[in-house]
Amino acid sequence: MYRAGVTLDLDITYIVVLALFLLPLLIVNGIVLRPFMALFEARYEKLEGALERAEEMLEDAERRARVFEERIRGAAKQGMEKRSSIRAEAMNTMNGRLDEARHRLQTKLDAALQSIADEQQRGLNELNASADHMADKAASKLLGRAA
């Protein structure tokens, strides 16, 4: 049996070739790749930081909007209460004035009705006196007597 084998001679040239491959790789890594990686990482951190700041700002804006809406609701409620109290006060004032005017008018009406009743009574009394006087005159003329 014949065994075919590969013989590999290790000599210094392989080490030199390996060093010539690794040395430029290390140099390129230090000069080009590391700064690119640092640049990409800084850019990533900057974007992530911007996203985090944007989220924080959005949360802050939402919180402020909720506080603003609560204040608006409170102010609206306060305004409604104030309007209701002013309206009630105005209604009470108006009702008081109307009652006062109604009382004054009723007093004037009662006085006018009393005055009319007094005039009516006086007129009836005068009419009765005149009727009696005329009746006496008519009777005396009819009977021929002097009055």
In a domain, 8, yes or no: no
pLDDT in tens, 10-19: 678 888 888 8
In a domain, 57, yes or no: yes
Total number of domains in the chain: 1
Task: Look up the domain containing 121 and give its range.
Answer: 14-147
Alpha-carbon distance values, 29 to 10, 13, 39, 144 (Å)? 28, 24, 14, 165
In a domain, 52, yes or no: yes
pLDDT in tens, 91-118: 999 999 999 999 999 999 999 999 999 9
DSSP secondary structure code for residue 32 in this structure? I
In a domain, 1, yes or no: no
In a domain, 118, yes or no: yes
pTM, to two decimals: 0.44
Per-residue pLDDT band for 9 (boundaries 50, 70, 90) equals low
In a domain, 73, yes or no: yes
In a domain, 7, yes or no: no
Q: Which pLDDT does position 48 carry in this prediction?
A: 87
